[in-house]
Amino acid sequence: MIVLKFGGTSVEDAEAITRTARIVAGRREHCPIVVVSALGGATNQLIALAEQAAKGHLIGAVRAVEGLRDRHLAVADALLGSGSEGSEVAAELGAMFDEIAQLAEALSVLGDLTPRSLDAVSAMGERLSSLLVAAAFRRLGLPAEHVDGRDVIATDDQYGRAEPLPEVIAERARAHLLPRVRARTIPVMGGFIGYSPGGVTTTLGRGGSDYTASLVGAALKAEAIEIWTDVDGMLTADPRVVNDSRLIDRIGFQEAAELATFGAKVLHPNTIAPAVRLGIPVRVLNSRRPEGSGTLITFDAPRRAVTAIAGKSGITLVRVGTPRMLMTEGFLRTLFAMFERHRVAVDVVATSEVSVSVTVDDASRLDALLLDLRELGDVAIERHRGIVSLVGSSLSNDAAAMSKALGAMGSTRVHMLSLSATGINLTIVVDADEVAPVMRRLHEAFFSPANPEGV
C-alpha cells in the first residue's frame, strides 16, 4: 500500500485533477490511498473571507464565498457534466458553500474570529476538494471512494495547530481505509483536517496535508509515501528565490526535516517524523512532470557537506540577559518552562554566560510571554529577522565548507549563528530582507558550476 498526497496545484483545476487521476491509475497495483489538499489558493481565500466577515465586512466575505462556489462548480461541471452524479456532487458542494456562508454570517455577528471557528472555515477547502476529486476519479474510471479526513485524523483541541493522536488514527485508519483498500477501491480523503475528541473540526496547521499523508502512511505501515507537488522534488534551494537551484536525488530524513523546519515549504516540517519511525521512504514528485524521478527521502542518502539551503523571514529574536544566570542551574529550565507555558515554539538557541538568545517563528503569543520573561532579567526583542540554514549531513566535519559559508556572508550583518546539536544544520540569523540575497550568495558558493561540490 502507498499513500499519494496531491497538493493544491495538483488539484487546482479540471486539467490538474485529470493529470492526478492518471498518476493514481499508474499506481493502482500498489493499492494507493489518496490525500488531497484544497484547490490551489482556496485555503488562503477561506481564511481571508473569515477574517473579513469577523471584521464586519459581510458583503465582501459573501462575495468571496460565491467566487469559490463558482470555481468549484465550474471544475465539477467540467469533470462530471450534468448527469446524475454531476448533479449530486454539485448539490453536495452547494450545501457546503451554504454552510460557509452561514459561518461567515455568524462571524460577522460575533465580530470575533477564534482559532476554533477559523478551523471550521479553513477545513472547508479539503472537505470540498476531496469530495470533488473522488467523484472526478470515478468519472475517469478509477474505483475511488470519498472518506472524510476528519474521520481518520484524530487530534487534540489545539485549534489551528492541532496535535494528532497516532493510536486513535491507527485504529480509525484500520476501520475507514483498510477495508476499502482491501476491496480494491481507492480512498480519497482531504488532508489538513481532523476532529478533536469532542467531534469538533480541527486543522494541522498550514501546509498540513503532507503531515496527514505521513500520519496515514505510518498508521497503516505503508510501503511508501509520495508527495506530489509543483516542483521536480526537493531542490538545493527554493526555486522562487534561487533560479538555478537543482534537484536533489536522495536526501536523508534528518536533512529533509531540518530543511522543512527552516523554510523549505515543499514539505510540512512534521511530515518526516512518522515516516522515519517506521523507515517509510518519502518521495517528492512533480505532478506536472510525472515521468521525473523526484527526490527520495530515506536513511541511506549520500553524505554531503551541504545538501541544500533554506530560508525564512518573519522571525523574532528574543534575548534574555541576566547576571543571575551565572552559576544558576535552574535558569534555562525556568526560561524554557515559560516558553512552554505560553506555547511559544523556539527554533534556534544560543547561550552565553549571562544571556540566552532564541528565535521564535510565530510571535502571536509573545506579549504574554514577555511579561514572564521580564521577571528573569533584561529582555530585548528584535523583530523583522530571518533565518538562513545550510543543511548537510557532514557539514560539521567539513572545515572548508564551514569557512566557505562564513566567507560567503561577506559584510552581511549576522545577529546569531548556531550549529545544530546534530551538526547538520548551520543557522544564520540575519535581517529579514537579507534572507533572499544571502541564500543566493550561499547557493552560488556551493552549487554554481564552478563550485560543484555541494551536490
Which option in Mg ion, ligand ADP, ligand ASP, none does residue 192 bind, with CB closer than 5 to 8 A by kind? ligand ASP
| Element spanning 272, H or E | helix 272-278
Q: Does 37 bind ligand ADP (CB under 6 A)?
A: yes
Cell digits of residue 350: 544560543
| # residues near ligand ADP by CB under 6 A | 19
User: Among 55, 57, 250, 265, which residue interacts with ligand ADP (rule: CB under 6 A)?
Assistant: 265
Give the chain's end-to-end CA distance (angstroms, integer).
32
Strands (E), 155-223: 186-190, 193-195, 201-203
Q: Which of 154, 189, 139 is nearest to 32 (CA)?
A: 189
Q: Does 357 bind ligand ASP (CB under 6 A)?
A: no
Q: Does 362 bind ligand ADP (CB under 6 A)?
A: no
Q: For residue 382, what are the β-bridge partners?
A: 317
Q: For residue 418, what are the β-bridge partners?
A: 427
Burial class (CB in 10 A: 0-12, 13-18, 19+), 267: buried
CB of 87 to ligand ADP, least distance (A): 30
Give the single-character DSSP code of 322. Answer: -
Largest Cα separation within the chain, whole Å, is: 76
Closer to ligand ASP by CB, 194 or 454: give it: 194
User: Among 9, 10, 130, 209, which residue interacts with ligand ASP (rule: CB under 6 A)?
Assistant: 209
CB of 260 to ligand ADP, least distance (A): 9
Q: Give the count of beta carbons closer than 10 Å to the beta carbon of residue 384.
A: 12
Site string for ligand ADP, 303-322 (x = CB under 6 A): -----x--------------
Part of the chain binding ligand ASP (CB under 6 A), chosen from 207-215, 249-257, 275-283, 407-415: 207-215
User: Among 42, 216, 231, 320, which residue interacts with ligand ADP (rule: CB under 6 A)?
Assistant: 231
**Three-state DSSP class for 309?**
strand
Site string for ligand ADP, 384-423 (x = CB under 6 A): ----------------------------------------
Give the single-character DSSP code of 364. Answer: G
Closer to Mg ion by CB, 7 or 377: give it: 7
Binding to ligand ADP, residues 202-221 (CB under 6 A): 207
Part of the chain binding ligand ASP (CB under 6 A), chosen from 35-43, 68-76, 133-141, 231-239: 35-43
Closer to ligand ADP by CB, 39 or 162: give it: 39
Question: What is the strand order of the sheet 282-286 is part of?
Answer: 144-147, 186-190, 32-36, 2-6, 224-229, 282-286, 295-298, 250-252
Q: Does 262 bind ligand ASP (CB under 6 A)?
A: no
Give the footprint of ligand ASP on this chain (CB under 6 A).
7-8, 37-38, 43, 125, 191-192, 206-210
